[in-house]
Amino acid sequence: MGAYAIDPGLDDLAATARAALVREIEASGAWAADPVWREAFESVPRHLFVPYYYVGALAGGYERRWGEDPSPRRRENWVRGAYADAPLATRVRDGELLSSSSQPSLMAKMLAELAVRDGDAVLEIGAGTGYNAALLSHRLGDGQVTTVDLDPEITDSARRHLALAGHHPTVVTGDGARGCPERAPFDRIIATCTLSTIPRAWLAQCAPGARILAPFATGLIALRVRDSGYAEGRFLHTPAYFVPLRGGGRPGPELPDADLSELPRRTRSHELLRFLLTLTADSLDPHEAYGIWEREGQPPRQRYGITVDGDRAWAWLDDPAGPYAWPLP
């Protein structure tokens, strides 16, 4: 077999596994807001975008699965794993995860929440394997999709995967924090990497009324862009964990466990508290954040939002002009 080719004998297994994945995503309700995405997931073969990936090994570290493994059994495991509703580690260096293919049901949720319309121009920040760009291209057409990544190895492999699947969107090697001005304006921007601030360049490249959907803290923020200087929106209820935006993007805050040691033990790992701690890490100490969290009834993500107004950006609880607001970079 040549590079990135699948064993012809595995075609039926791939089709069966893809159909099972679609049923699983359907049952999760991930694309309930826009069921048209079902057709894209039925049509785009994920295994072409993950010719190899890594899974945790029993002895620690990662085990590589790939489509050209000499073992027929291991090739079958590769196909089945490619259609699991799970994230797949695709680039690992010195034990550190550098890139991954996101969990398909989360991808479906994000694409449905992007609320695309026919004719929309979409910018994707973080090319990854190219799978998400292929889903967008299937829905909107190649000419409407641009995907950007800082790493030329990632963009080169994404182009190969996309071409093998029959899609040719614009793939750009560059700093995602700067957007892609030569392809602007965009009606939608979707990021597949975690932000710690909202890049102002994105707003300037958006058409009025555009929507930005991006991981932030441990959630997903959905912003409506009014103009090049103003955007506002709330978080979705969905948890989301992605690798950080690289390049001009600012590294996200970390939460050393030592800083949490004096909080009640039962709450330290509470998912919604960790969200607030991450969102306010540059503004509040953990005790202040914990006090707000308890006082406000352990608020879910949907009560939080972000506003960008010129040079100012802030996160808030319930009301952009309310008493709980925290500056962002």
Residues known to be catalytic: 99
- H/E/C letters for each residue in the chain? CCCCCCCHHHHHHHHHHHHHHHHHHHHHCCCCCCCCHHHHHHHCCHHHHCCEEEEECCCCCEEEEECCCCCHHHHHHHHHHHCCCCCEEEEEECCEEEEEECCHHHHHHHHHHHCCCCCCCEEEECCCCCHHHHHHHHHHCHHHEEEEECCHHHHHHHHHHHHHCCCCCEEEECCHHHCCHHHCCEEEEEECCEECCCCHHHHHCEEEEEEEEEEECCEEEEEEEEECCEEEEEECCCCCCCCECCCCCCCCCCCCHHHHCCCCHHHCCCHHHHHHHHHCCCCCCHHHHHHHHHHCCCCCHHHEEEEEECCEEEEEECCCCCCCEEECC
